[in-house]
Amino acid sequence: MQRDLESIESMFSQGQLSPESYWDQVASKRLAGLQIPLTAKESARLLKALARMRESFQRAVAYGNAAIPAQARSQPCGGSDLAGGQ
């Protein structure tokens, strides 16, 4: 599954997948690959939440493209605090 995901990510990075298609493929792969048993209700709730996030992701991208200079957009800036923390 990891190889599938990497392939999807790679195709998306190269512009070969639309955001919608990318999203649907990644979400379904990841959901199927979870090692955690989900009830039908939980799966439905999760898919609903993910659908909302896909919509807000598209709005966020549109806002970012308009507000942030292209140079800053193309360069990763700032890092996650996850690894280090304090």
Partner 1 sequence: MLPSGFPNTMDGLLAMLASGEMSLQQAADIQRQHFRAAAVELDSVIRFMDEPFVQGLPFSGVAVAHKDIFEQDGYRPGLGRDRGHADASAVIARAPAVLRAQGMVQLGTVAMAEDACSATGFTRRLPTPKNPLRKDLAVGGSSSGSAVAVASGMVFASLGTDTAGSVRIPAMTCGVMGLKTTHLMVDRTGMELISPSLDSIGVLARSVQDLGHVFRLVASKPLVQSSPDQLRVCFWDAFEELGDGDADIAAVVRAFAGHHAAETRGNLRGLFETAGHHATVVMSTEVAQTQRERIENGLACEEVRQLGLIGMVLPGQFYEQAIGQRQALQAHCLQTMFADVDIWLMPLQLQPLPTVEQVYPGASQFNAYASLAMHKMCGWINYLGLPSLAMPVGTDASGLPVSIQMVAKPGHELDLLRLARQVQDEIFGKDGIRPSMPSQEEV
**Contact residues for partner 1 (CB under 8 A)?**
9, 12-13, 22-23, 26-27, 30-31, 34-36, 38, 42, 45-46, 49-50, 53, 56-57, 59-61, 63-64, 66-69, 72-73, 76-82, 84-86
Distance linking the first and last C-alpha atoms of the chain: 34
**What is the distance between the alpha carbons of residues 56 and 47, in angstroms, rounded to a whole number?**
14
Q: Cα dist. 77→57, 63, 65 in Å?
A: 19, 17, 15
